[in-house]
Structure 1
């Protein structure tokens, strides 16, 4: 105990201050070679966030950030809107407030989510993916909230700001939230809440009407007794094609004859790699 206290308690200045907290070296660290060569008592300094005096006017914080707002740039100028962004980000946490396009920075939007963990998941899984030929850059924003100012019209005629706080399409609020599986973008989509009469041909027609990639394989799950909806899997040529179709068709409302309310088609990335 004394030996360990001496090793961990006294450190010379390392550039982060004499009392910088130390953390154990992770087991999967690329600096760890073997248990014989590197003992558990070896530690590394915890990097502290830079002070406000640091010279940076960017709205991104890459490390040590704590915000429930994410910033996404690299958005296609005509094919992406607030709903498309919501369709992607809602897979990793609730979009509790608004999505807002920035007029001063074209192709960039702010997304306010339920908490900083949802933002972390969105950054982890969505940063660097391609959507409509554009590579997304998703990062934590310095903003602590999305304020609906400077609202303007996007090229598709929709508003540059949309409040999603009351939508029923947020998936992490209900009792079913524990069934959400956090999954990275993949070439196979899981669809559910579809009309029980929905056919493969109708789904392909939906892709054509909205000018998104069509799936190559289609699989329907056996419905449970008394089930009023349909679910299954859609396989695409690749991850990018699946992402684009989900971005547009997630939460698309499908009306069927003799039904007063439309069915809200829900999509998410599947754990299956292929059908």
Structure 2
């Protein structure tokens, strides 16, 4: 009888620990998104996110093991470590600093960061000028953004992209930016996210910034001169070389390549003109100009 009572007491003591582990598991499930991840940085293995996750040990306490037959380990997947996390716990929120105060806003951050994963929300921090939080589809999208965008120059300022300690962007302290735009914007429902289905994700090639931009979803009536004027009207660098891909006679859109003097110019143009709405005479709906970094280094 004494042994039974001892076992029951040990089980009562163990239950809070098991419940705590299950709460962690449920929180992890709740944070998972439906975003399609696409291609990962080279630090990930070809068959997934690296080697099997380590098991999380229960606190060592010999009295539990002596009286109750329970597993020594509780297993659930932990995010894989990456050098870009810089010691921080994985998060689906990136912190971006070094933003130009009058030329960067939520939409332009979206235009640049959407190349590496879905964007949920963007919020500028009132207490830290030139800094924004970007909530992405998952922590792997954040890792890709850090890998490819950290330390690049945008509008003469060098970006610093790192993992945020926050795990979600909360729309508090909304204010007006220097250009008159809101400091907060929700992009969860936008059709311009590029990783929301398997079909979309398969078309994305994860590329670092380069001097050549690939453009697509442009109406056939748009010429090289039209694109040059578009750059000049928005006060961004003009391209130095132009190439249009051959399209089928039945195609409703065209695509091609634009080469700029350097990578910095191309980044600036993409940040400003990605998702620009092109309207044509007698057209019922505008065409959304899509830009991304090309695999070609030059034309």
TM-score by length of 2: 0.71
- Trace 1:182-221 onto structure 2 (pairs within 5 A): 182-221=206-245
Higher normalized helix content (fraction of residues): 2
CA deviation after TM superposition for structure 1 residue 226, in Å: 1.4
Q: Does 1:231 align with 2:249?
A: no
Aligned partner of 1:153 among 170, 173, 176: 176
Q: Does 1:140 align with 2:163?
A: yes
Query: RMSD between aligned alpha carbons?
Result: 1.3
CA deviation after TM superposition for structure 1 residue 225, in Å: 3.8
CA distance in 1, matches of 2:238, 2:172: 37
Partners of 1:215 and 1:236 within 8 A in 2: yes
CA deviation after TM superposition for structure 1 residue 245, in Å: 0.3
SS at match of 2:123: strand
Runs of 4+ in 1 over 2 A off after TM superposition: none
CA deviation after TM superposition for structure 1 residue 65, in Å: 2.4
CA deviation after TM superposition for structure 1 residue 179, in Å: 1.5
Partners of 2:88 and 2:163 within 8 A in 1: no
Q: Does 1:84 align with 2:90?
A: no
Gaps of 5+ in 1: 1-45, 47-59
Aligned position for 1:39: none
Gaps of 5+ in 2: 1-53, 55-83
Aligned position for 2:141: 118
- Trace 1:1-275 onto structure 2 (pairs within 5 A): 62-95=86-119, 97-174=120-197, 175-275=199-299
Partners of 1:81 and 1:160 within 8 A in 2: yes
CA distance in 2, matches of 1:81, 1:129: 17
TM-score by length of 1: 0.77
Larger radius of gyration: 2
Aligned position for 2:65: none
Partners of 1:61 and 1:141 within 8 A in 2: no
CA deviation after TM superposition for structure 1 residue 170, in Å: 0.3
Work out the number of aligned pairs and report it.
Answer: 216
CA deviation after TM superposition for structure 1 residue 197, in Å: 0.7
Aligned position for 1:3: none
